[in-house]
Amino acid sequence: MLVDGKWIENWQPVQKADEKGRFVRQVSSFRNWVTPDGSAGPTGEGGFEAEPGRYRLYVALICPWASRTLIARKLKGLDKVIPVTVVNPVISAQGWQFGGYDGAQDDPLFGARYMHEIYTRAEPHFTGRATVPVLWDMTRNVMVNNESADILRMFDTAFEGLVPSDLRLYPTDLAAEIDTLNPVIYDKLNNGVYKAGFASSQEAYDEAVAGVFDTLDMLEGRLTGDYLFGNRLTETDIRTFVTLIRFDAAYHGLFKTNLRQIADYPRLSAFQQRILDLPGVRETVNMDHITRGYYSIKALNPTGIRPVGPAHVARALAR
């Protein structure tokens, strides 16, 4: 991580934990919003007007948080107006790195080797983890936002004048319900698997795993229609999908969330396939990056050996 703009080596063991050994995820610090006219959004400052080709999205394809922004970008037809740079799936001693892996790219803006250089460009004295995703303003040369929940939501409306779309991922009439369900899915499932994987006590692990499977059971019961809110696709579906698609191939083994697999849940499996089949979504799922990335986390898998299966994940992607 960065401390006052300087990289502190060997980030992997320094996953933050609370007094009970529970993994604690860092809060994002760049919170400006792109809006149709450049007015300020719900957080941060204004000055970020929607323009084609002005903003670049930095992502890792292993990362579920980055992936939710990528999926929204595809579903909202923004791939022509927002270019993307994909980092190497293997996190190095200096964090995310550019290039050097099939499907990873060099940094086109500054020729940076590491993602943390993008952070110190934005804020020379930045302290914190150099996380993805990052939305970068190529006109003003500043970081707009590094919180995927914000980016997902701004992609729903900010570019409407440039790329009109009928899809509403955060429709007004469902906003309250979405805002109620999202934190449960975030805490118990999206981040719950990480809490299990990075737990440093049995108690913290047990608590996290219980939360993961209670939530999967709850979602399985809830999925009587195509999506979590009946037949309308929302951001909550995307936020759920990114964890489901990584679950059997990575979390079940590496993070020890192994009570059940997604394949054991008929409705969740069908839901996962339904989202995978939406136009553009499959392109955002790179199972090679996902398994290479997760199984290269040295603190959890010192040999770096990547398991071969499970076969049903490859089948779901090939369908």
Ligand X SMILES: N[C@@H](CCC(=O)N[C@@H](CS)C(=O)NCC(=O)O)C(=O)O
Could you list the residues known to form a binding site, using ranges. Answer: 96, 129-132, 147-148
Residue 11 binding ligand X, by CB under 6 A:
yes
Cα gap 153→183, rounded to integer Å: 15
> Closest separation between CB of residue 209 and ligand X, Å?
19
**Which tokens hold the place of 203?**
């108690």
Residue 155 beta carbon to ligand X: minimum distance, rounded to whole angstroms: 13
The yes or no reply on residue 117 touching ligand X (CB under 6 A) is: no
Contact 125, 105 (CB under 8 A): no
The answer to whether 164 and 225 have CB atoms below 8 angstroms apart is no
Task: Return the residues of window 40-69 that contact ligand X according to CB under 6 A.
Answer: 60, 63, 65
Count residues contacting ligand X (CB under 6 A)? 16
Please say whether the beta carbons of 134 and 121 come within 8 A.
no
Residue 295 catalytic? no
Binding region for ligand X (CB under 6 A) out of 31-39, 144-152, 168-176, 234-242: 144-152
Contact pick of 86, 112, 118, 132 for ligand X (by CB under 6 A): 132
Q: In the chain, helix, strand, coil percent, each to 5?
A: 40, 10, 45
Question: Catalytic residue among 55, 58, 63, 294, which?
Answer: 63
Interface with ligand X by CB under 6 A: which range of 128-136, 227-235, 251-259, 266-274? Answer: 128-136
DSSP letters for 263-313 = GG-HHHHHHHHHHHTSTTTGGG--HHHHHHHHTT-TTT-TT-------HHH
Is 188 exposed, middle or buried, given 0-12, 13-18 or 19+ CB atoms closer than 10 A? buried
Q: Please, which residue, 69 or 215, has the CB nearer to ligand X?
A: 69
Known binding-site residues for glutathione equal 96, 129-132, 147-148
**Whole-angstrom Cα distance, residue 221 to residue 267?**
8
Q: Does 241 bind ligand X (CB under 6 A)?
A: no
Catalytic residue check, 170: no
Give the binding site for ligand X (CB under 6 A). Answer: 11, 25, 28, 60, 63, 65, 95, 129-133, 146-149
The residues assigned a catalytic role are 63, 194
